[in-house]
Amino acid sequence: MDTLLLARLQFATTASIHFLFVAVTLGLVTLLVGMQTAWVLTGNHRWERLTRFWGQLYVINYVLGIATGIVMEFQFGLNWSGLSRYAGNVFGAPLAIETLVAFFLESTFLGMWIFGWHRLRRGAHLALLYGVAITAYASAFWIMVANSWLQNPVGYEVRDGVAHLTDFAALLTNPALWMALGHVVSAALLTGGLLMAAVSAWHLNRRTTDHALFRTSLRIGLVTAALAITLVQGFGFAQFGPVGGVQPTKFGGNPEADALIADWTARFGPGDYLPPTLSNVGLGFMILIGFALGLLWLLVPLLWRDWIIRLRFPLWLIMLTLPLPFVALILGWIAREVGRHPWVAYGLLPVDQAVSPISPWLMATSLIGFTLLLGTLAVTNWTLLARHAARGAADPALGRPPAQPPADDPRPEPAFA
């Protein structure tokens, strides 16, 4: 067994699973902000019910997603001590900010929002949800700042074999940052929108008694997904120029790549400095899925006079497409991360110098343990989401008045003299 390969497999497993949670969280919170804002402005209780129903699914995904994030954070110190030692002064700064934002501010706002129903004024309660959304986007931003530095190290100098941050502003203007951030955010909106459309389609296909409610969420989800896939495609193709400029080896051999490989060979010794085929395969299939999901625009005109519901088959089509954004997220992660191999920090730190000096058996044990843990969290998350989504929006636990028992509570009402 190879310690490096096992460490890479372990991080790929934890990061990719966590990424799926993040995409659902970021996409759903954006839609929740819109629905609760509509409720506060109009006073229409249909928006309240939609906020409660989708908010409950959001909370389930968020709580279990936080657990996967904690598992992933541990690996930087446990499995990749070489990276922490060499680039911790630079790479650690945005990660520390993200931790403060995600684990303190965002979680605090969310907790206050969950327990603030019927205790706070509507405006104050809505402000908390805006706080959750803003900190969620801030968390995604700082993660992408840290990742973009690994893709294209900037604003640093090496002293005594350790990278030190010299220009914080350079981290924020990194050419590898902004188009990638737009791509990730729009992919999250696509995922959240399609999840909302698919769950709504399932209920409408079963001729739910909440027809009007899920008709509304179907429209919101489908329009959001259609707009988001256009942004995904735009930001995706816009990255080819900046990424090719900072990573000449990513898309195959070219004169700039050949010159860079010659320089690396002189500095680090002979080796295979071109990324593996897996990177381009992931990129190609991700693009195919992106084009396939672009066909969502063909379903938007069917919203007129509810033809999308009357015909039925578009509802099945929406449900069948639900896994595609999640597959595309994993493929995109592979294209971005595997595409910089064999570097952890592109052109600075090879992966074999970043991995911790751990025995293969210990690393294999860690891989099995973390995989089982994350697999359990993922299965639990999707089981709970499916169960609560199937129950419908009749009386979600989130936002239920404290004195009101559940709608299906068999206990008799108390008698008063």
CA-angle at 302, arms to 301 and 304, nearest 5°: 80
C-beta neighbour count of 365 within 10 angstroms = 12
Q: b or e along 293-320 (b: 16 or more beta carbons within 10 Å of the residue's beta carbon)?
A: beebeebeeebeeeebbeeeebbebbbe
pLDDT at 257 over 80: yes
The mean pLDDT of 171-194, rounded to a whole number, is 96
- Report, in angstroms and rounded to the nearest whole number, the Rg of the chain calculated over CA atoms: 23
- Pick the more confident residue, 257 or 113: 113
pLDDT at 37 over 50: yes
> How far apart are alpha carbons 304 and 285 in whole angstroms?
33
Q: What H or E segment, with its residue span, contains residue 165? A: strand 162-165
> Which tens digits make up the pLDDT trace of 67-97?
888 777 777 778 898 998 999 889 888 988 8
pLDDT of 407 reads 58
Dump the DSSP string for 167-201.
-HHHHHT-TTTHHHHHHHHHHHHHHHHHHHHHHHH
* Sequence-ordered strand ranges (E) for 248-378: 343-345, 349-350
Q: Terminal CA-to-CA distance of the chain, rounded, Å?
A: 75
* Sequence-ordered strand ranges (E) for 171-316: none
Q: For the chain, give the longest Cα–Cα distance.
A: 92
The mean pLDDT of 244-271, rounded to a whole number, is 88
105 HSE (CA, 13 A, CB side) = 17
Give the percent of the chain with pLDDT over 90.
Answer: 71
Q: In sequence order, what are the residues at sequence separation of 6 or more whose Cβ sits closer than 8 angstroms to the Cβ of residue 7?
A: 79, 80, 355, 356, 358, 363
Give the total residue count for the chain.
417
Q: In sequence order, what are the residues at sequence separation of 6 or more whose Cβ sits closer than 8 angstroms to the Cβ of residue 103?
A: 66
CA-angle at 171, arms to 168 and 173, nearest 5°: 115
pLDDT of 406 reads 59
pLDDT of 122 reads 94
> Which tens digits make up the pLDDT trace of 148-175?
999 999 999 999 889 999 999 999 999 9
Q: Full-prediction pTM beyond 0.85?
A: yes
Contact 282, 335 (CB under 8 A): yes
> How far apart are alpha carbons 290 and 343 in whole angstroms?
28
> Which tens digits make up the pLDDT trace of 311-341?
999 999 999 999 999 999 999 999 999 998 8
The mean pLDDT of 213-223, rounded to a whole number, is 96
The mean pLDDT of 331-358, rounded to a whole number, is 92
Q: How far is CA 263 from CA 155, 249, 255, 258, 270, in A?
A: 21, 13, 13, 9, 10
